[in-house]
Structure 1
Amino acid sequence: MTASAAQDLVTAKRTTLTIATSQAIVGAAAPVAISLGGLAGHYLLGADKTLATLPVTGFNIGVALGALPAAMLMRAVGRRNGFVSGAMVTALGGAIAALGLFQTSFILFATGLLVIGLGGAFVQQYRFAAADASPKLFKPKAISWVLGGGVFAAIIGPQAVIHTKDMFAPVEFAGAFVAVIGLGLLGAAILSTLKIKDHVETDPANIPTGPERSLGAIIAQPRFVVAFVCGVTTYALMSFLMTGAPLAMVGCGFSTEEATLGISWHVMAMFAPSFVTGNLIARFGKETIVATGLLILIACGLVALSGIALWQFWLALILLGVGWNFGFIGATAMLTETYTPAEKNKVQGVHDFALFGTVAFASLMSGATLNLFGGQVELGWAALNWILLPVAAVCLVVLAIFVLHDRRAASEAAHHP
């Protein structure tokens, strides 16, 4: 390794560590919003609790709406200034949400979570920034380091809830969203030290070449369709159950702390497998990992339907996180095979818009489904899981048909070159 390459690696590691630390701090706002959004919505609403999960829907809509503006802002002012701005937006969202709770305003609280979601759109870019600032051989580790920050976020967020939610009693949950202000400001301070510059590859193999196809031609590919359906459905099902789980747990007699810890286990299960998912994909193939993820989601539904003990809620949420990790990352890996580097921006933009739009709808329907049976939470929780089972099974069948067709086509091509 040359002296220049060694210095590049040191710089990349320093940059990635800063971004991973920010992921742990600013990213912790998401578990706060997810674990308390539905509970606080339930607290603020009157007799009709159908829209209790609307604030969580607002958070997901914020992530979706913020994706393109975040990219445009960072292109205009640079990633460091863009990320600092995103952390400040997260802090602003925490302030608006806390004010909504103090004023007993459901709309203001939901708006606060939407703004936290806008800040979360910047967090979604962290792993890409770390990868872009790293030499080719360090890119996978850079992504893993940032995802490791996500595991810490899964601990920091719920612990912030447990220790601060009653800070302003009798106003429930307000303290946790005041804590989000602190998380955003601390993250902004850390990100302000960031010295980041995209690493320029000199290998001709990494330079985008070839004409761009139309978006319609790309979307029409069977592999794109299957990857898109499996990825979006996996994410939507995860949101569908995750959003309703805290409400279901509290409705079944468990404490807010126990519900929050359940979300903590879930978010850790979402991120922790990422350290090995890439290796598993390399060894067993993308389609196999997607199928495994869908089977784990089905197992989650079966565990949830087996009873309402605390361990069943927690185990179901852990399986939900792992199933999402395998299914979504595997499907994303499949998707990357359907477009060239020159086509990635338009494909990823359309994909993420459809993805987070569907996720937002799923989170809204979670609250409506929980309230289908006149407030009988046990029946509502069962309904969520009965919906998950056939949807995951259909995706599994679609994937199996595609794999069989793909293998048959490959076999015919081998025999008739």
Structure 2
Amino acid sequence: MFGTTVWGLALGQALLITGNILLISVAALVGQHLAPDPDYATVPIALQYIGLMCITLPAAHVMKWVGRKKGFLIGNVFGVVGACLAYMALSVDNFYIFCCGTFTLGMSIGVGQQYRYAAAENAPKNKIPQSISLIMAAGIIAAILGPNVAVWFEHWFPDVQYQGAFLALIIVYLLTMVIIQLLPLKKPSIEEQQGHTRSYKELLKQNDLLGAIVAGAIGYGVMVLIMTATPLAMMHSGHNFSDTASTIQWHVLGMFAPSFFTGKLISRFGCSKVIQTGCLMLVGCIALTQFGITYWHFSIALALLGIGWNFTFIGATSLLTGTYQPAEKAKVQGLNDLIVFTCSAAASLLAGYWQNIFGWQLLNLMMIPFIFSAMITVAAIQKRAELYVESN
């Protein structure tokens, strides 16, 4: 069904997310160790998302002119540099160098967000949702490798906890560069580079585009905030690091395992229904957090959080791909990712502070109004589309 290019991009995505999950597993804990104040423990993760946010729009436009291959290689260079900075920060016990490292790693992850768009471009038009799902399904490899690499390399250097994890991260990015170099990625077409493009104002008049952005931003933001707060909440509840890593693993499995069938669900039921089902999964996660703080309460809630994110994110991405012409893809993809990851950056920045101020259960309850607003927005857009079809 898919060629070498899509499968290669899926492998690149798997390695990218492996590094991302490894970073998520340890960054808040390293931050808590190095930070001058406990409230700043999640600042390194926030800076990862800020770096991601800052690069999304430039990355989309750079790829429009230099192509996917060179763009992805540049992104992986950022990854190597960021991992080296984090490794160095742990050597000298410096919080600020570690923050620079996570910011640069975020830039690499931001460039990697284009993998799903590249896969859609290299798949038959009727298989676009499935190609996006395949890219996201590659995260199952990351679900297994990411947390385990963090545990395996936690004491690689006996005197400095977690330093070995960042050495492993350097290797992951170097390996990804080799894979990308071997892929026959398409060069930008003349139409993509020189075709007519509508203004942002005109583009944003499309209901589907607004729905995709709102669903993607809220789904991702809620997921990031709860996920980022989880290691701190589990530590405060008396759980050890291996339990935390295992919980993150369940979460990542929830994020990516449904990808094997999410594309088919979208093809059968439509993007809106899949997005709304994802929102209900997010509500289910929050409901479960109110009943206990055992390992299984955390793990099942985080698995539901992952499934909810999968449905909202893949649904939103699939909805987005139908809202632009070839020459407009850099504008639309860049704008969408800028907004989505701005929300993610804000969520990760607030996670540690809100966890310390409000506690685990109230922090989760505060997410419900955002989720309901996404559901209402998508439902209203679907209703307008149905009325338009009936009137014509």
Q: Give 1:370-381 correspondences, 5 Å limit.
A: 370-372=355-357, 380-381=359-360
**Would the aligned equivalents of 2:129 and 2:318 in 1 still touch at CA under 8 Å?**
no
**Would the aligned equivalents of 1:26 and 1:90 in 2 still touch at CA under 8 Å?**
no
Structure ID, larger Rg: 1
Relative to structure 2, which stretch is displaced further, 336-345 or 303-312?
336-345
**Would the aligned equivalents of 1:133 and 1:198 in 2 still touch at CA under 8 Å?**
no
Name which of 84, 90, 93 aligns with 1:95: 84
Give the SS at the match of 1:371: helix
Normalized against structure 2, the TM-score is what? 0.90
How many angstroms apart in 2 are the aligned matches of 1:199 and 1:136? 18
Name which of 311, 314, 327 aligns with 2:312: 327
Deviation at 1:290, TM superposition (A): 1.4
Name which of 9, 13, 19 aligns with 1:23: 13
Change (3 A) 1:43 1:354: same
Relative to structure 2, which stretch is displaced further, 384-393 or 131-140?
131-140
Name which of 259, 265, 273 aligns with 1:288: 273
Per-residue CA distance 1:38-58 (angstroms, 9 max, x = gap): 111111124x31121111111
**Counterpart residue number, 1:357:** 342
Deviation at 1:74, TM superposition (A): 4.3
Per-residue CA distance 1:50-79 (angstroms, 9 max, x = gap): 121111111112222222443455455543
**Counterpart residue number, 1:262:** 247
Letter in 2 for 1:297: L
Per-residue CA distance 1:292-313 (angstroms, 9 max, x = gap): 1111100000011111011110
Give the SS at the match of 1:372: helix
How many angstroms apart in 2 are the aligned matches of 1:210 and 1:186? 36
**Counterpart residue number, 1:386:** 365
Q: Give 1:145-156 correspondences, 5 Å limit.
A: 145-156=134-145
How many angstroms apart in 2 are the aligned matches of 1:219 and 1:338? 9
Give the SS at the match of 1:192: helix
Q: CA RMSD in A?
A: 2.8
Deviation at 1:227, TM superposition (A): 3.4
Letter in 1 for 2:355: L
Letter in 2 for 1:230: A
Per-residue CA distance 1:206-250 (angstroms, 9 max, x = gap): 999996443213323444433322221111111110111111112
**Counterpart residue number, 2:102:** 113
**Counterpart residue number, 1:179:** 168
**Counterpart residue number, 2:375:** 396
Letter in 2 for 1:349: G
Relative to structure 2, which stretch is displaced further, 160-169 or 217-226?
217-226
Give the SS at the match of 1:283: helix
How many angstroms apart in 2 are the aligned matches of 1:138 and 1:55? 38
Q: Gaps spanning 5+ residues in structure 1: where? A: 1-8, 201-205, 374-379
Q: Gaps spanning 5+ residues in structure 2: where? A: none
Q: How many residues align?
A: 392
Letter in 1 for 2:137: G
**Counterpart residue number, 1:3:** none
Deviation at 1:382, TM superposition (A): 0.9
Change (3 A) 1:26 1:237: closer
**Would the aligned equivalents of 2:209 and 2:320 in 1 still touch at CA under 8 Å?**
yes
Deviation at 1:406, TM superposition (A): 4.5
Per-residue CA distance 1:169-207 (angstroms, 9 max, x = gap): 33222111111111112222333333333598xxxxx99
How many angstroms apart in 2 are the aligned matches of 1:137 and 1:395? 27
Change (3 A) 1:403 1:76: closer
**Would the aligned equivalents of 1:297 and 1:319 in 2 still touch at CA under 8 Å?**
yes
**Counterpart residue number, 1:45:** 35
Bigger RCO of structures 1 and 2 (CA < 8 A, at least 6 apart) = 2
Letter in 2 for 1:397: I
Per-residue CA distance 1:327-362 (angstroms, 9 max, x = gap): 222233334444444433322222211111111011
How many angstroms apart in 1 are the aligned matches of 2:299 and 2:150? 18
Give the SS at the match of 2:138: helix
Q: Give 1:168-317 correspondences, 5 Å limit.
A: 168-197=157-186, 212-317=197-302
Letter in 2 for 1:93: G
